[in-house]
Structure formats: structure tokens, C-alpha cells
Amino acid sequence: MKSYLAAAIQMTSLPDLQKNLVQAEELIDLAVRRGAELVTLPENFPFMGEEEEKIAQAEAIGQQSEKFLKTMAMRFQVTILGGGFPVPTEGGKVYNTCLLVDPNGSEVARYEKVHLFDVNVPDGITYRESSTVKAGQDLPPVYASPELGTLGLSVCYDVRFPELYRHLSQKGADVLFVPAAFTAYTGKDHWKVLLQARAIENTCYTIAPAQTGRHYGRRQTHGHAMIVDPWGVVLADAGEEPGVAIAEINPDRLEQVRRQMPSLQHRVFL
């Protein structure tokens, strides 16, 4: 593992696949021009619209998203995380799929979101992700990159379930991905502290690309894509506008924190 720059992209995705992919490409290009070798896109990066629209277009969204990620990775010669897009499955539902692609355009890790957001948020909006999404059945994977470290996958609502990240750290993760479309209401109180907690308790870098702003109807997301170091320090925060948060992933810092706070070695209950 070497020192390198990572980018957490922040988007305002709409119910328009092509517009979203254009926006994503522009932000990937910006991140690469700023030196990023690892670029992460948020959950729902290719489409944010009504659930019925998503299901109707799911096959096209899934196919074009996968092709897009592989094309961008090869064109810019970077590793890219596509933080979440629908992939049709049996029964008319989709998997909320997170894909990691290397600079050769090869898929190196795939994760189907296991924790689905079925919540009555206090702002009056009800979310029922399970109405159109089938929960994944497998624990999230890690991908061991000689240059970028061991990378652990997750998606959005997963961040509230610390046992998932403990699994990733037990598998050797150095970097945790939390691509998200966090609601504006919950994000203002919980987003930052949850990302810091996952980073601190697992002594890992946490990279969290995010959605921001208003997407359709009353759907509004929190923004603040960020990168957090293993001590819980926020290294970069994209604020509330579309853009890119960029920070260094430094193996020396990782080693220093794990030496100073060897909590993973002191666990009693496994």
C-alpha cells in the first residue's frame, strides 16, 4: 500500500440516466485532474426518481451503469467505486448494487446492499426501500489492492450497523466505503458522527461519497461527502453543492493510529 489521493464525489442525481452519467463523468474528470487515483461515486449515482420509474428502467440503468464504470476506469486509469445502482433480479425487484472496478476495467468486488431503508422519518416522509429492492444475502466483500490497501464495501443505511464494519475490519480492511443518499433530516444529526464512529472503532479510513440537494418531489439529501481518517478526523468535506472531496490515504498514518490505539487487538467478544 502506498500513499495516494482518494476522491468522494458528491452529486445531485435526477430521474434522468443520461444527465446523471454526464454529471458523473465531469466530476470524475475533475477528481482525476486533481490527482485522485481512487474515485468513489454515491449511491443512486445513475438515477434518483420515483420507485416505479426506477423499476421500469432498471435493466437499462443497470447495464449502462456497469458499462459506464468500466469505461471511466479504463479511460482515466483509476479505480472506481459505483456506490449503488439497480440490477434486476427475480420477482420484479432489483438489487441495490455497489461495484468496484480497477483501472483495467475489470470488476474486482460486488456487493448487494443487505440493510434496506424502511423507515418513517420524523419529517413526515416514509421510505420503503424493500418495496422495490431485494436485500442481498452475503456479507460485504473486501478487495486487497497492493497499491490502494484493503478496501471494504458497504452502502448508505449499512452505516448504522457496526457489526458489518467489524466484519470488514476482521477481513483486513484499511479503507471503508460508505456511498450514500442520506436523507436531509437524518443527515444533519447522524451522518458525520456515524462515519467518524465507523472510522474510529475500526481504525480505518472512511470514504463516503454522497447525494445532495433536491432530486424529485420531496426527496432531499444531506450532502457532505467526506473522507475521515482512522483517528476520526474529517480530512475533506464537500459541503452541500455537487463537487468532490479529496484527501490523502496514508499508510503511515494508518499504522501510527493502530499502534497508538490498538483496540482491535484488545477485543474480548468476537
113 is catalytic: yes
User: In sequence order, which residues have a C-beta less than 8 Å from that of residue 68 and are 6 or more positions away?
Assistant: 21, 24, 25, 46, 82
**Annotated catalytic residue, options 54, 70, 113, 192:** 113
Which one is catalytic: 43, 66, 70, 112?
43
Active site residue 70: no
**Catalytic-residue membership of 204:** no
Q: Which amino acid is present at 267? A: R
Catalytic residue chosen out of the listed positions 54, 156, 192, 204: 156
Which active-site residues does the annotation give?
43, 113, 156
